[in-house]
Amino acid sequence: MSESTGAADQGGSLLRAMSDAILAIAAEPRLERVLRRIVDSARELAGARYAALGVPEEEGEAFAQFIYTGMEDDLVARIGPLPRKHGLLAAMLLETRPYRTPDIRKDPRFQWWPDAHPRMTSFLGVPILSRGQVAGAFYLADKIGAAEFSETNQETIEMLAAHAAVAIENAQLYERSRELSVVEERNRLARDLHDSVVQTLFSISLTAEAAALNLATDPQKARVEVENLRDQAREALQEARALIFELRPGALESEGLAPTLQKHVDVVRRVSRKEIELKTSGYDRQASGMERELFRIAQEALSNAVKHADASLIEIELTSGGGRVAVAVTDDGVGFDPSDPLIRTRRLGVTSMEERAEELGGRLSIQSSPDAGTSVRVEVPIV
């Protein structure tokens, strides 16, 4: 093999590794998984025996994330707790330029290693810059087949660091979006409590006062008020049970999705007085994590149909087969325009359903138009 052919092969290998790393960044919103793929790519691209990536906490001496590769689990156990921000680990979080040395121990900023820690020599540190600020750093040690890392190695990791910065930003935005969805869910439940249970309890208190006033002067009227009081208390109990069930579907882990969803539909049917049909004959039980997310999607879609659709019939169908699981919630209500950008600002539940479907590797689709009903469908692969 000629020298030019070898260089071309090496360049092609680097290009493929970089391409794989970039595709992994684009496809995975969760930070820890992204960082792990990036660290593996950095180690391969630079030809390092050991590689790590640290993302510092905003305050304090610890790392929010410290992902490493190249060490066996038993060695990591002997080394002990993950490192904190000290020595060159901390220095690379303060520098905006890369740093290379053939022997890390000769650097004045080097401090110490735990007893079981490998005695490393060559070192390459590359900061990860996000909007001019250090968001993390690559740490690579012990260049394989050479005394030190080359300038080409440094340039390659600098390119990867730019993509890592985007990945960190995207993952942080994703987490904030999830936090907003949780806040929105809590606000929705608070509104439901106020609109249903609290209002019913207020009516109960008024009815009780009326019954007390009529007890001595008009016992018959007081009796009617007490009967109203009983009916309102039952209604409040049903509404409270429905909301509690939304918060904690206790039967999901033990009984599975189909029976739990049936119980939820029964409660919603009684409380809302809507005609709701559930079909589960074509469904086989799946992993509990998948069923939990599918339940939340079905729950949100049903809640939207009950509250907003003004439908005479709501149908839910749960099926599995062909390597996929599907949940569809269809109504014959007023419908809406799914392309309206204001839908997601008014109903963050739509965003939450989409994110849950994406986490399962699936896709959520919404078909609707004004006065033509709505169909919400999610399909996810069976892993």
Backbone angles phi, psi at 243, to 5 degrees: -70, -40
324-362 pLDDT per residue, tens: 999 999 999 999 888 877 665 555 578 888 888 998 999
**What rounded mean pLDDT belongs to the chain?**
80
Q: Tell me what pLDDT residue 6 has.
A: 45
Question: What is the pLDDT averaged over residues 140-158?
Answer: 92
Helix or strand or coil: residue 378?
strand
23-43 pLDDT per residue, tens: 655 555 567 777 888 888 889
Q: Tell me what pLDDT residue 211 has.
A: 78
Torsion-angle region of 259 (φ positive above 0: left; ψ -120 to 50: alpha; else: beta): alpha
Beta-carbon neighbour count of residue 362 at 10 Å?
A: 21
Helix or strand or coil: residue 266?
helix
Radius of gyration of the chain (CA): 30
Report, at the CATH architecture level, how domain 255-383 is classified: 2-Layer Sandwich (3.30)
Is 3-176 a domain of CATH 3.30.450.40? yes
Q: Where are the domains of the chain?
A: 3-176, 255-383
Q: Which tokens hold the place of 2? A: 């000629």
- H or E stretch including 295? helix 288-308
Question: What is the pLDDT averaged over residues 143-167?
Answer: 88
209-232 pLDDT per residue, tens: 777 887 888 888 888 888 887 877
Q: Tell me what pLDDT residue 233 has.
A: 78
In this prediction the pTM is: 0.47
